[in-house]
Structure 1
Amino acid sequence: MKAIFQMEMIKNAQDKGLYFWTFLLPIIFTVLFISIFTAGTEGADKEYVIISIVPGYTVMFVFFIMISMGFSFIEDRDKGMVARLASTPLSPYAYLFGKWLPYVVIVFIQMIVLLAFGKIVYNFPIEQPLLLGMLALILTFCITGLGLALSLFIRTSNMGVAITQVITLGGALLGGLWMPMEAMPALFQKVGKLTPQYWAHNAFQEAMTGTLTYTDFLIASLILLVFGAVGFIIAFFAYPSFLRRAKH
């Protein structure tokens, strides 16, 4: 497992495109939309927009890591790596954890960088930093768990990109990352509460303003952990089928 983890970390560290999608593009979008929506506003109104956009775009963009995860598993499958590893004493669980852990590191660093950028540039409050950090770690587990399931389910890279876009952009729209939930139709508000993006975004905002109660923190954390755990369960059951599709 350690060798797989190290190999995956080296491969991702050499991927210049990953730096763009993970850090540069989210920062560009954050700056652009804050500039647009805070034009002509000052004080509390401006801070409200910033506290909505920074965590909103952070939550949205971290879901795109599922594309990189899918590409990595497909590459292993099609180049015969999976089949070769299956013939060794390495257990499927060790392989999956070795592939999964690097993306945990990447996503967590991505969230820390994006939130730190927002704090440095816009000086928004972070009243509950411990809860915010715990939420970032829990959301990391949620996203990478779902990404693991998606990676073993998809047949092609294009399929992975399409499904990720539906999950990411659909969740961003319904989860209130683009506009306040109150401004959306009642049906959308109900459906939006079924998305991990909704719970993550709300909890992030409240931790930043210092209004996140321990009850709400536990509820949001439990929901995100359930999403991640379901992803892991699906991945473990999908692995035999993934292995059968692997080239020898």
Structure 2
Amino acid sequence: MGDGALGRIAALVRQDGRLLVRDPSPLIVRTVMPLLLMSFMQPLFRAALRADDVRGATGAEQGVPGMAVMFLFFLVNIVGFAMFREHGWHTWDRLRAGPARPFELVAGRLVVPLVVAVVQLAVVFAAGGLLFGLRVTGSYAALVLVGVPLALCVVMVGMALVALCRTIAQLSVFANLLALLFAGLGGALTPRSALPDWARPLAPGVPSYWAMRGFSAVILDGGGVGAVLLPAGVLCAFAAGLTAVTLFFFRAEHRKLSWS
């Protein structure tokens, strides 16, 4: 990738950064909401973990990573809106007319959401320790090794939906549906052992399952980097597959509608 391409990608990143600084409220809400919900649901998570023979459980061991994973996938909407707003503002044709190639237009929209996703995870986990007594018995490096590819998965789900959806209404519906589906099947709302019988064989087919498996290995089992290599690798595979879907279906000439 030449200096020209890097410069064009950097310009798009700077634009997204400026827009985020102007109105950070949607991202602040998505960071506060999991903590607010956790304050109500901690007793339920505590009971579920103790029923699963986790001694001394406070509920934060399930609730903090579960709420973090669930609300991270609601960022998919933000990723999609960043692309759709160019069509709504009628600036997409101007971008296409410039020297930036389609790959650069996609890559330039990845960086800010990826950083935001990683920061959101970090803030929720840190606040979980301060407010709800979350104790991480394993390696913090292992948490990072799971969290970064999880954030990349979230961003690429958004990009794949941008490539597949024609209207912002379609994207919003599918993004919210996937967030709830991933939360349920992945064990974000309840320990994996408490999933319904019909859901257990389906759970490994969603990235949130592997994220929760990795986080649980660190938080509950005291695991290190070696304990999360499989979950982290599967999350990377999900991200690679979603990238392939995006590159295959994304067409810069496709008109997107910011209304239904």
Answer whether contact 1:139 1:224 (CA < 8 A) is retained. yes
Counterpart in the other structure of 2:27 = 19
The one-letter code sitting in structure 1 at the alignment partner of 2:29 is: W
In the alignment, what sits opposite 1:192? 203
Counterpart-to-counterpart distance in 1, 2:214 and 2:36? 24
How much has 1:79 moved relative to structure 2? 2.6
Distance 1:211 1:45, change over 3 A: closer
Q: 1:186 to 1:216 in 2, by over 3 A?
A: farther
% same residue: 21
Q: Tell me how far 1:113 sits from its aligned partner.
A: 0.2
Structure 1 letter corresponding to 2:173: A
Query: What TM-score, normalized by structure 2, do the two folds share?
Result: 0.86
Going from structure 1 to structure 2, the CA distance change for 1:150 and 1:46 (only over 3 Å counts) comes to farther
Separation in structure 1 between the aligned mates of residue 130 and residue 58 of structure 2, nearest angstrom: 17
The equivalent position to 1:121 in structure 2, one of 131, 137, 151, is 131
Report what 1:103 is aligned to: 113
CA distance in 2, matches of 1:154, 1:239: 10
Number of equivalences: 244
- Counterpart in the other structure of 1:225: 236
**Which residue is equivalent to 1:64?**
74
Structure 2 residue aligned with 1:146: 157
The amino acid that maps onto 1:178 is L
**1:8 counterpart residue number:** 16
Q: Which protein has the bigger helix share? A: 1
Match for 1:244 among 224, 234, 254? 254
- Give ranges in structure 1 of 5+ residues lacking alignment: none
Match of residue 178, structure 1, among 179, 189, 204: 189
SS at 1:99's partner residue?
Answer: coil
Closer, same or farther in 2 for the Cα pair 1:229/1:246, shift >3 Å? same
Q: Residue 22 of structure 1 contacts residue 61 of structure 1 at CA under 8 Å; is this kept in 2?
A: yes
One-letter amino acid of the structure 2 residue matched with residue 199 of structure 1: W
Deviation at residue 216 of structure 1 after TM alignment: 4.5
User: 1:100, 1:144 within 8 Å by CA — same for their partners in 2?
Assistant: yes
What runs of 5+ residues in structure 2 fail to find an aligned partner? Answer: 1-8
1:213 CA drift (Å): 6.0
The CA RMSD over aligned residues, in Å, is: 2.2
1:161 aligns with 2:172: yes
* Deviation, structure 1 residue 141: 1.1
* Deviation per residue, 1:62-115 (Å, 9 max, x gap): 001110111121111233322211111112222211111100010000000000
| Residue aligning to 1:33 | 41
Contact between 2:79 and 2:159, CA under 8 Å: does it hold in 1?
Answer: yes
Q: 2:215 aligns with which of 204, 211, 215?
A: 204
2:109 equivalent to 1:91? no
